[in-house]
Amino acid sequence: MSATTDTPEAPDTTGELSGAASDLRMATFRLARRLRSQRAVDTMSDGQFAVLVALKVHGLHTLGELAERERVTAPSMNRTVNCLEELGYLTRSSDENDRRKVNIVVTDAGREVVAETVRRRDAWLEAALQQLTDAERAVLAEAAAIMRGVADG
């Protein structure tokens, strides 16, 4: 109780939450970095891979739509698309309904890169999880659900 009032003081958790937030952020970034290092094409950037995933998951896009989705400028996306096109991971084609519009589509080779990268990342994480106890895996499963909620909120 406070010396000046009869109500209990709330505990000061600001520093505690700040430290927990920092620890969680750093652990999340370190895990993400380790997962990102597991890729099918070592020379492919995270941005290039994100474009292939967007095309695989969401289907064809225009250059502007891809730039907006990935939150980059159109000239930056154009450089990324040019590079991926040269490597054979995507193609450009005229829109059937509007010949002025150019659609960007992932190729079979691009889909294979995405599938293999996802496979490698899952395999790495599965191997890491095998090193943990059942109790630790249960804690991480619960944490994953909580993290999804935080990310979606």
Q: What is the CATH number of the domain that holds 112?
A: 1.10.10.10
Using the 8-state DSSP alphabet, how is residue 11 labeled? P
pLDDT of residue 80: 97
Rg of the chain over all Cα atoms, to the nearest angstrom: 22
Take residue 82 and report the two structure tokens written for it. 């040019």
Q: Residue 76: inside a domain, yes or no?
A: yes
According to DSSP, the residues that pair with 103 across neighbouring strands are 93
The rounded distance, in Å, linking the Cα atoms of 36 and 33 is: 5
The rounded distance, in Å, linking the Cα atoms of 50 and 72 is: 12
Q: How many domains does the chain have?
A: 1
Q: Residue 9: inside a domain, yes or no?
A: no
Q: Residue 64: inside a domain, yes or no?
A: yes
Q: Residue 105: inside a domain, yes or no?
A: yes
Q: Residue 80: inside a domain, yes or no?
A: yes
Q: Which domain holds residue 40?
A: 33-152
Q: Residue 1: inside a domain, yes or no?
A: no
pLDDT of residue 2: 45
Q: Residue 102: inside a domain, yes or no?
A: yes
pLDDT in tens, the chain (153 residues): 444 455 556 555 667 888 999 999 999 999 999 999 999 999 999 999 999 999 999 999 999 999 999 999 999 999 999 999 999 999 999 988 888 899 999 999 999 999 999 999 999 999 999 999 999 999 999 999 999 999 998
Q: Cα dist. 31→45, 50, 76 in Å? A: 17, 18, 27
The answer to whether 90 touches 55, Cβ cutoff 8 Å, is: yes
The answer to whether 103 touches 34, Cβ cutoff 8 Å, is: no
Angle at 28 (CA atoms; ends 138, 22), nearest 5 degrees: 110
Q: Residue 72: inside a domain, yes or no?
A: yes
pLDDT of residue 13: 60
Using the 8-state DSSP alphabet, how is residue 87 labeled? T
